[in-house]
Amino acid sequence: MGKDYCEQVSFPPIRKATVDLLSVAVHKHMIHGMIEVDVTDCRSRFRAMRTQGKEIPSLTSYIIYCCAKVVSKDKMLHAYRTLGNRLVLFDDVDVSLPIERSVNGQLEVVPSIVRAANSKTVGEISREIGQSRQLPMQGNEMLRGMRLFLLIPGVLRRLLFRLMGRMPRSLKDKFGTVMVTSVGMFGHGAGWGFPIATHTLNIAIGSIVKRLELVGGGVKQREFLCLTVSFDHDIVDGAPAARFIYRLKRMVERCEGLE
């Protein structure tokens, strides 16, 4: 019997910081909603735009656009709490989106922040995300200060993350105020993602599933996007969370912003 060979590679530095952040995030008191949003009409709009030779936004960018617009009408949805137990409400909705970028020739998942997404069009958001994906990062840019930070013992690093969790302006600058992540395709059928939520409001984009629906007295096939919406229950109560979900669904299903 031949030997079982294996390979050892270095653990990416950015993953160490991610582990520290997630170890703090698991202590949040989150509430979750698993929903389906009818995206038949907006995907039809996308196909029509392709036929007309127009720029086609990504579905993720459209969800970010709608989310930011709804959040801007209720700033408590992306509030952060201070050390003095006060809430800081921001005008700008900064949406954090994990994307793959090239770091020293290897693909790493790093956060990209769409600043003031509530004041941008769908096309502007889509182009910004596309440019962020294509822009390679030099190791010294991404890891600037990271190596020094990782010299600190893990217990102290996690304590620093806890303290930063009560420093709203620092949080906004480094992590944004809302998190949207695309979990990817699940093959055939419905699929929802449940990431460890790090923000006051978090949205995980799942798969698209086709279902037969009764429409206008007849049965038609419709496309539904699976979304997981998570809220920090320390800040957002059930009623405003339900209103956010209702408004988000209505905005997407009406194709608002795609005119």
Residue boundaries of the structural domains of the chain: 29-138+167-253
- In the predicted model, what is the mean pLDDT of residues 177-186? 83
Q: Contact at 8 Å (CB) between 217 and 110?
A: no
Q: What are the pLDDT digits (tens) for 108-117? A: 777 889 999 9
- In the predicted model, what is the mean pLDDT of residues 17-36? 87
Cα–Cα dist 106/117, whole Å:
29
Would the pLDDT of 168 be above 80? Answer: yes
- Would you say the pTM of this structure is higher than 0.85? yes
Homologous superfamily of 29-138+167-253: Chloramphenicol acetyltransferase-like domain (3.30.559.10)
Q: Contact at 8 Å (CB) between 91 and 75?
A: yes
**Banded model confidence at residue 191, pLDDT cuts 50, 70, 90:** confident
The three-class DSSP label of residue 237 is coil
Would the pLDDT of 201 be above 90? Answer: yes
- In the predicted model, what is the mean pLDDT of residues 161-189? 84
- In the predicted model, what is the mean pLDDT of residues 230-240? 96
257 vs 190, more confident: 257
Q: What are the pLDDT digits (tens) for 86-105? A: 999 999 999 999 887 766 66
Tokens for 122?
A: 């769908």
